[in-house]
Chain A
């Protein structure tokens, strides 16, 4: 027999309690993986959706808390494109609109001459022709979900659009997005002449001085704010809020796991006071007694974490199956996240066992033995 066997033997003495503790840790770890994965994936997916249609600068309404929250006059495009160093400017209107079955679909409106069209990965069909109206490109995932094909119609806010092509973007957001002519989306959403944000391609995107100069020139126009496109999410309060809420919930879940381990071991210490006294009487040092209790905490949290990984992976799949989430975020717990969570859970489990272990080690052996 060794210390590990002794720890297992002690945990097996109260099988129901040990099992419930492990499940508690497992649920905490699973929740952490799912929620933290959601937080991380939300950010990554929005970022990927921006990278799918690359640009150098993003212009939004100054003071708008989030990227999709403001409106900019489309007429500014002609003014900005005149700024030296600007190669091209396009506007995009984003709206969540009701579709055929009452479902809400993310719709993007692009101008005929938008440079975004060059980035569209067509899976089937064709791009809209110049000046063509009431046509739509739909993402492959939403096409599958709504069982739509090229040549059929899809309606937004009651207006029918003919599907001319199906896109296969990398990001799950764009795979669930419908792209229509800007004028059509402005019309059905009663936002004539407005875009949500503008995207700029620069003549010399690798020249920081040029980037700064163009940015300053754009910001000189009243009411506009400019970010490098790769930085745009850093200033987005909605993405920040989503990340903060899901991260906080994830950490709360993990801390609950620590409290469960702490409570279980504290109960064990109180129940085994006399046994701890016997260990001291036969020459076990305070450090060895502490180590034995911490080992039990380690086993509980390690076993709980192993089950928690499975719960986390299943939880991520279940979240993805909810249309309101799955259409915009592909929750994928990475190996890095799984490993980091397991290390954190085991570390916190050991941390949670330190106080009970310390209490066990510091109790007077005479008093412990006196407990019948």
Chain B
């Protein structure tokens, strides 16, 4: 399988080197692969996700996208616009925009026609099962519904890679399970790459690969076998 994104000798420190979040990370993620990143709180999972989408630049090492080094924030912004979708733990929706408008915001700059943006946003919400809730504001939606809006937003530009940072962290177990099933269904049906940060071992086991982060270092775990979360 072709490598989509790779990290070579990547390190990230803060506070002038006093805090080392990640050290010498070497990791390659292939097209259409699903990878779980697990580890204790503060182990560097979120930092790794931030580096993989260019919201943060590494202190050392190289990150390649389809084999090409990506070194500037500007290049990463372009990738996030079209190639990388991000799902956050706390949804990060705009409180004054309706569900459909929250999805549309991601297309301001990629889709010129406002009619086309609206059509694709509605389709996206339909896909995540929110066809009837598109004119609701975030505070009128449940946590699970908000996360579905965030997933629809992350998918609306047909990205190759979805980075999901603890997407069920703020949800109850039933909503969490539903969101996980949705994410994996979409990943498989669209042949996307999914990198999932999670505390939940059962969610991690749904991925083809599991990466353990401990004290800023990455350890590959034995390959798992993708399967459905118990409904």
What residues of chain A have their CB less than 8 Å away from a CB belonging to chain B? 1-3, 6, 9-10, 12-13, 274-275, 278-286, 288, 364-366, 369
Contacts and interface: CB of A to CB of B under 8 A. Distances in A.
B94 A275 contact: yes
B64 to A, nearest CB: 19
B96 A9 contact: yes
Contacts of B153: 282
B105 A282 contact: yes
A282 B96 contact: no
Interface string B43-73: 0000000100101100000000000000001
20 contacts: A1-B101, A1-B104, A1-B118, A6-B97, A275-B94, A278-B94, A279-B105, A281-B92, A282-B86, A283-B77, A283-B82, A283-B157, A284-B77, A284-B81, A285-B74, A285-B77, A285-B81, A285-B109, A286-B77, A365-B73
Given A280-B55, A284-B109, 5 more contacts: A2-B114, A278-B94, A285-B78, A288-B109, A369-B88
A286 B92 CA distance: 19
Contacts of A278: 92, 94
Interface string B98-130: 000100111011100010011000000000000
Contacts of A274: 92
B119 to A, nearest CB: 13
Contacts of A365: 55, 73
A283 B105 contact: no
B80 interface: yes
Nearest to B54: A365
Interface of B: 50, 53, 55-56, 73-74, 77-82, 84, 86, 88, 92, 94, 96-97, 101, 104-106, 108-110, 114, 117-118, 153-154, 157
A143 B78 CA distance: 75
B229 to A, nearest CB: 27
A2 B97 CA distance: 12
A274 to B, nearest CB: 8
A291 to B, nearest CB: 10
Contacts, number: 73
Contacts of B114: 1-2
Contacts of A284: 77, 81, 108-109
Given A6-B105, A283-B106, A366 B56 contact: yes
A12 B96 CA distance: 9
B115 to A, nearest CB: 11
Contact of A9 (B56, B74, B97): B97
A233 to B, nearest CB: 55
B27 to A, nearest CB: 19
A284 B76 CA distance: 11
A285 B97 CA distance: 20
A10 B110 contact: no
A366 B96 contact: no
A281 B150 CA distance: 12
Nearest to B81: A283
A369 B77 contact: no
Contacts of A279: 105
A1 B97 CA distance: 10
A2 B112 CA distance: 10
Nearest to B86: A281
Given A13-B96, A282-B86, A285-B74, A3 B55 contact: no
B55 to A, nearest CB: 5
Contacts of B55: 280-281, 365-366, 369
B80 A281 contact: yes
Given A1-B114, A2-B108, A288-B108, A281 B53 contact: yes
